[in-house]
Amino acid sequence: MSEQSNPIPQKPLNHVIASCPPSGIRRFFDIAQTMKDVITLGVGEPDFVTPWHIREAAIWSLERPGYTSYTSNSGLLKLRENICSMLADRYGAVYDPKEECLITVGVSEGLDIALRVVLNPGDEVIVPEPCYVSYIPCIEFAGGVPVLVKTDADDGFRLHADRVEAAITPRTKALLLGSPANPTGATQSRADLEKLVELANRKDFYLLSDEIYDRLTYVGEHTCLASLPGARERTIVLNGFSKAYAMTGWRVGYICAPKAITTLLTRVHQYTMLCAPHISQIAAIEALEHGEREVEDMIADYDRRRRVFVKGLNDIGLECYEPKGAFYAFPKIHCSGLTSEEFAEQLLMEERVAVVPGNAFGPSGEGHIRCSYATAMPHLREALERMGRFLERRGVRTLPKENPIGARR
């Protein structure tokens, strides 16, 4: 008999990882890559190129001897000093750059090691949802149990402290919160964050705060969670350079946390990732020291796109909460009569517009799609035209033609 008819028995691989579905974001992006004339509103990546002076700093670092080596596990001290100075000046969050700041390979690595440090097997993490696609798998990979707390479009995806409290059990170890949020673009108010801090202190759980979109806040001001009274000693702040500085491929993030936590974060980091790329850290220093003007220009551009695109979605019949941060719109699609996966697949095949089905972000994401408006305005307008045609074929009413898509009322 052949080996094929009698395969050699093999022990099963990790059951948690084997049962994890592939990313719902990447699935439609990969399909779109094989098609022509596609407008991609799927992957959350700035369409801006990293500003030239930041790229030039990296080029210069390559031309200097020694700048292609490892850095310390914690990252370049100058970068950590700049980060801590920025957090103190901008938000009033004070950290020691030598012992309370760690440079990571993007926020993704930061989230992974933070969960590994905080969780013991079976510990529960409360997650508001819809939530970023990595949150639930990363909790499970770290041996934890995600506990989902629903938020609603009708009140701006606000996270109510009483809903969080109702989800707390003796196994609750942490709350993982993103504000501004992916996929909804929602921001949590200072008052609501203060209630969560009070609850965390009363019930004794950690706060993991994903603040990668902090600079992309269009309404009001961003609140760094660790800056609130009573929050610092139980808060882990995750942030990085990907979004605000258009540096996704550079893979530079950071964690700020109390010394006892950062010591353990660094221990995991030094055994797994060692350090973030040296030249990327040089570029990040340049970004912090001289990149503010470009950041402000990009924020203003995103804000213009946000207002035009969200109005356009409502005009074509897709009810959409106006996001206050990030660069995503999360419209309802109930009017189409389709599930979120059906909507995304049919829209891609019929009109060559790639969006992400809402169920990729948790059960309450069903009935929505995520659209990234981090693309040029002409593409956004064309996407709205195509989506309008798609909906008209399904009997969805749009606003009268005398009120063109994207026009100001």
Over its C-alpha atoms, the chain yields an Rg (Å, rounded) of 22
Taking Cα atoms as reference points, which of 303, 309, 332 lies closest to residue 405? 309
CA dist 298 and 327 (Å) reads: 11
At position 96, the amino acid (one-letter code) is D
The model's pLDDT over 250-308, given as tens digits with 9 standing for 90+, comes to 999 999 999 999 999 999 999 999 999 999 999 999 999 999 999 999 999 999 999 99
Give the rounded distance of the alpha carbon of 224 from its chain centre: 16
CA dist 241 and 211 (Å) reads: 11
The model's pLDDT over 37-91, given as tens digits with 9 standing for 90+, comes to 899 998 788 999 999 999 999 999 998 777 899 999 999 999 999 999 999 999 9
Strands 235-240 and 206-210: parallel
What does pTM read for this prediction?
0.91
CA dist 181 and 133 (Å) reads: 11
The model's pLDDT over 219-240, given as tens digits with 9 standing for 90+, comes to 999 999 999 999 999 999 999 9
Domain boundaries, the chain: 15-50+293-392, 67-290
Strands 353-354 and 39-40: parallel
Residue pair 216/243 in contact by the 8 Å Cβ criterion:
yes
Phi–psi pair at 86, nearest 5 degrees: -65, -45
- 8: confidence class by pLDDT, cuts 50, 70, 90: confident
DSSP three-state, residue 398: coil
Q: Domain 15-50+293-392 - what CATH class?
A: alpha beta
CA dist 350 and 73 (Å) reads: 49
Instruction: Please give the CATH number for the structural domain made up of 67-290.
Output: 3.40.640.10
Q: Which residue has the higher pLDDT, 14 or 306?
A: 306
Tokens 């929505």 appear where? 368
CA dist 75 and 77 (Å) reads: 6
Q: What percent of the chain has pLDDT over 90?
A: 84
CA atoms within 13 A on the CB side of 329: 28
Taking Cα atoms as reference points, which of 155, 159, 107 lies closest to residue 135? 107
| Model pLDDT, residue 406 | 46
CA atoms within 13 A on the CB side of 138: 21
CA dist 42 and 22 (Å) reads: 15
Q: How many CB atoms lie within 10 A of CB 227?
A: 19
DSSP 6: S
Number of helices followed by number of strands (H, E) in the chain? 13, 12
- When pLDDT is averaged across residues 329-341 and rounded to a whole number, the result is 96
CA dist 36 and 57 (Å) reads: 36
DSSP three-state, residue 360: helix
Q: How many CB atoms lie within 10 A of CB 397?
A: 10
| Model pLDDT, residue 45 | 86
Residue pair 241/286 in contact by the 8 Å Cβ criterion:
no
